């Protein structure tokens, strides 16, 4: 049986695994939220960043990817290493509706935020989110790039995220006519912390 995977954040624009079909998809019962502290990819333990999780309630539009059976196990192992090393998410299958005109609903692997995990932030005020995103840098790069890339992809799909768009405005980004983002208007200055992380990445 084919494995379907639901992407709502970086998996949408950088899945990193082989798939044979992709489609816009809608998940009911959970919404996209910057509700997970990142200690590795977009921050550190001393200055955590913020990454997206699927939190309970609402609905979420993203991308669904179909992986052939021969790649099922390898893909699951890859996603475990990339998305869930600290078990911050519950990897569960949920029905998602494909938005491709076919009317299909498939069971897709979804990463639902564990509200009892120590990395769960709850609902942070918008100003707090903006401050964390501006300052944080991790192994995969600046936190702000993660947010911008995600929202840019959503805009290109024609998806307006009511939670992320106000944050984008605080960060100094506005959509262009083609749905992309403009250049940084208020990019945070390079701090001693960010510089030290960047130098460490180069030395590593």
pTM of the model: 0.80
pLDDT at 58: 95
Alpha-carbon 38 to chain mean position: 11
Q: Are 40 and 137 in contact (CB under 8 A)?
A: no
What value does the mean pLDDT of the chain take? 86
Q: Which sequence positions are flagged as catalytic?
A: 83
The rounded Cα 71 to chain-centroid distance in angstroms is 23
CB 64, CB 106: distance < 8 Å: yes
pLDDT tens-digit series, residues 154-172: 999 888 999 999 999 999 8
Quick one: which of 112, 105, 99, 97 has its CA closest to 158?
Answer: 99
Structural domain that includes position 47: 3-203
Q: Write the CB contacts of 101 (distance below 8 Å, at least 6 apart in sequence).
A: none
Virtual torsion, Cα 2, 92, 22, 139, nearest 10 deg: -120
Task: Supply 204's token pair.
Answer: 């590593």
The predicted pLDDT at position 82 comes to 87
- Residue 23, domain CATH: 3.10.490.10
Q: Count of domains in the chain?
A: 1
For range 77-103, the mean pLDDT: 92
């Amino acid at each position: 049986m084919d494995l379907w995977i639901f992407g709502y954040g970086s998996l949408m624009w950088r899945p990193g695994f082989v798939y044979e079909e992709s489609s816009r998809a809608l998940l009911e019962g959970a919404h996209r939220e910057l509700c997970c502290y990142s200690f590795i990819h977009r921050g550190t333990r001393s200055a955590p960043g913020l990454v997206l999780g699927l939190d309970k309630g609402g609905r979420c539009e993203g991308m669904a990817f179909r992986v052939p059976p021969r790649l099922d196990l390898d893909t699951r192992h890859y996603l475990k290493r990339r998305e869930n090393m600290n078990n911050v998410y519950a990897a569960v299958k949920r029905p998602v509706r494909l938005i491709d005109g076919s009317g299909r609903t498939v069971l897709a692997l979804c990463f639902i935020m564990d509200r009892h995990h120590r990395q769960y932030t709850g609902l942070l005020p918008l100003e707090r989110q903006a401050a964390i995103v501006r300052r944080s840098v991790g192994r995969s790069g600046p936190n702000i790039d993660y947010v911008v890339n995600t929202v840019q992809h959503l805009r290109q799909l024609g998806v307006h995220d009511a939670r992320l768009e106000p944050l984008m405005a605080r960060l100094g980004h506005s959509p262009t006519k083609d749905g992309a983002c403009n250049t940084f208007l208020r990019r945070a200055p390079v701090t001693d912390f960010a510089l030290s992380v960047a130098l460490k990445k180069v030395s590593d």
